[in-house]
Amino acid sequence: MIKKSGIGLAALTLALMTTALPARADFWSDAGAKYKGVVLHGVTESTPPSNYIKDVLAPEFEKKTGIKVEIETTSWDQMYDKAIKDMEAKTGIYDMIYIEQDIIYAYLARNFLVDITKSLKDDPSLKSPDYDESHYTTFANYFKNADGDIFGTPMEAFIKVYLYRTDLFNDPKIQEAFKKETGKDLKPAVTHEDYTEIAEFFTKYGKDNGLDLWGTTAQAHTGHPASWYEFFESIAPTFGVFNWGVDASKNYAASVENGGTMNSAESKAAMKYWLHLRDIAPPESAASTWTEVGTTFAAGRVAQGLVYGENAAWIASDAEKSKVVGNVGVALPPTEAKVLEDVKAGKGYLGYYDGGAFGLPVTSKNKEASLLFLQFIGQDSVQPDWAVAAPRITNTATYDDPKIVDMDKKLNGYYSMLKNDGKLFAGAPPYPFHAQVREATAPIFYKILLGEIPSDEGLDQMAAAAEAELKNLGYRK
């Protein structure tokens, strides 16, 4: 009887306690309460990672905080046009903007962005216990200033890799034909010489056998920046020409005469190598940008190629878009022998590490609420599902998640390569004059592609044009 009364009393006490005390809230609902009803606006490029933010993370955040997030996804050029106009005119339309890895330097130079690290230090009430900047991969370094403060929450990151068709490379008949033709075993290329040999073999093999098959991709559009970037970000570094051949330590020299490498012997060899590949690539290569090389590979029209990692994932896994699912091998881009050693020793890089982050414009009218959202998408717990839905990895913890380990198998080790060899790749050089130098040299570059100027002479002209533009901008004194 006493025992029964005791239990009843304890239950009554517990019931009273639970009704008298307010429900224990988590960080997000507590921190968000102050900003309930606020609507945050973001603009970003329409990519799978961005769409995941729009469709999944933004509604989740709203559910937890009461802060609504509207994400405008649009084309790459529209996104920049709108974000820059907003920040220049200080209209405060956007609370979050997509910052691509290369434009960050121009934005920092113009003080467009809020220092996230500092803001969270200044107001610890906004700092989520689940958010830790040290969990980001090294890719986050591209969004930091000299003090190590971060100016963007990394949301997509990928490297430009060498893809090859495993079904073709492992076909005994093709292996035999290759051996007969070259005297070598058919395996993914390690050097430029290997790569050229394989490319020539498959282009000839496709022609001889009436197949819609060529030996290599080439992102070689004759009037679009994509080709310029393919050469300076993906091809030239594998010959040892880094940072577009511009040496900031030598008064921003581009020409060999002044200490630069844009028209060096290595750069000229790189150009000849690439032009030869372009000539034996599928006919659409002269009109291919970063997207179309992926499409060409996915259509099964090439045996190998350099492809941006964001495309590598869908090429290897999405049967609705790709004919080569299950037949995609991933490897490091081929290099000159000494370059790989140098890169491994920390002198230079092997290819392009691309991606973007979500930044907070200083013109935003809802900075505090935006800081909460930027932390929300930067925390470890949301990353694995995001990486499955839209292959990208920005936090180190993501690699070990079982879903990602499984996905890595489907992608033939792409995530492992990102984890282990990501350090060998680099983002754009830390110059705030990307667009200006590119625009100054691109017309000459396109003339090289069109055969209107010999490549050696063209690179000499480009180096001179780059230096003239840098002088114009006040860098060369």
CA-CA distance, 307 to 377, in Å (whole number)? 27
Indicate the residue among 82 and 410 with the shorter CB distance to other proteins: 82
Tokens at 150, concatenated: 């971060």
Q: How far is the CB of 75 from other proteins (least distance, A)?
A: 4
Residues 231-290 that bind other proteins (CB under 8 A): 290
Is 85 one of the binding residues for other proteins (CB under 8 A)?
Answer: yes
Q: Is 98 helix (H, G, I), strand (E, B) or coil?
A: strand
Nearer to other proteins, 300 or 430 (CB): 300
Whole-number Å distance between alpha carbons of 238 and 267: 10
Contacts for 378 with CB less than 8 Å, ≥ 6 apart? 131, 133, 136, 153, 154, 394, 395
Q: Shortest approach of other proteins to residue 43 CB, angstroms?
A: 7
Assess 74 for contact with other proteins (CB under 8 A): yes
Beta carbon of residue 61, minimum distance to other proteins (angstroms, whole number):
16
| Interface region with other proteins, contact rule CB under 8 A, candidates 65-73, 109-117, 177-185, 441-449 | 65-73
| Phi, psi (rounded to 5 degrees) for 147 | -85, 0
> Which CA distances in Å does 218 have to 176, 204, 277, 302, 468?
26, 17, 7, 10, 29
Choices 44-52, 106-114, 187-195, 399-407 (CB under 8 A): range interacting with other proteins: 44-52
Interface residue with other proteins, options 35, 38, 40, 45 (CB under 8 A): 45
In whole angstroms, the minimum distance from the beta carbon of 133 to other proteins comes to 26
Q: Shortest Cβ distance from residue 135 to other proteins (Å)?
A: 26
Contact 192, 277 (CB under 8 A): no
**Binding span for other proteins by CB under 8 A among 79-87, 169-177, 273-281, 329-337:** 79-87
**Closest to 477 measured CA to CA, from 314, 317, 287, 251:** 251
Nearer to other proteins, 228 or 475 (CB): 228
Q: Applying CB under 8 A, does 229 fall inside the site for other proteins? A: no
Q: Which two tokens stand for residue 463?
A: 């180096």
430 binds other proteins (CB under 8 A): no
Q: What's the full length of the chain, in residues?
A: 477
Residue 255 burial by Cβ neighbours in a 10 Å radius (0-12, 13-18, 19+)? buried
DSSP letter for 234, please.
Answer: I
Draw the binding track, 291-310, toward other proteins (x: CB under 8 A; -: no contact).
x--xxx-xxxx------x-x
* Residues 361, 97 contacting (CB under 8 angstroms): yes
Please state, in angstroms and rounded to a whole number, the distance separating the CA atoms of residues 23 and 371.
25
Site for other proteins in 88-117 (CB under 8 A): 89, 91, 93
Cβ-proximal residues to 227 (8 Å cutoff; 6+ apart), any chain: 219, 220, 221, 289, 445, 446, 449
Judged by beta carbon, residue 227 or residue 261, the one nearer other proteins is 227
Task: Please select the residue that binds other proteins; options are 98, 195, 314, 414, rule is CB under 8 A.
Answer: 314
Q: Identify which range of 27-35, 76-84, 408-416, 463-471 contacts other proteins by CB under 8 A.
A: 76-84
- With binding defined as CB under 8 A, does residue 81 bind other proteins? yes
CB 111 within 8 A of CB 151: no
Stretch binding other proteins (CB under 8 A), from 72-80, 190-198, 272-280, 374-382: 72-80
Residues lying near other proteins in the complex (CB under 8 A) are found at 41, 43, 45-48, 70, 72-76, 78, 81-82, 85, 89, 91, 93, 290-291, 294-296, 298-301, 308, 310-311, 314, 319-323
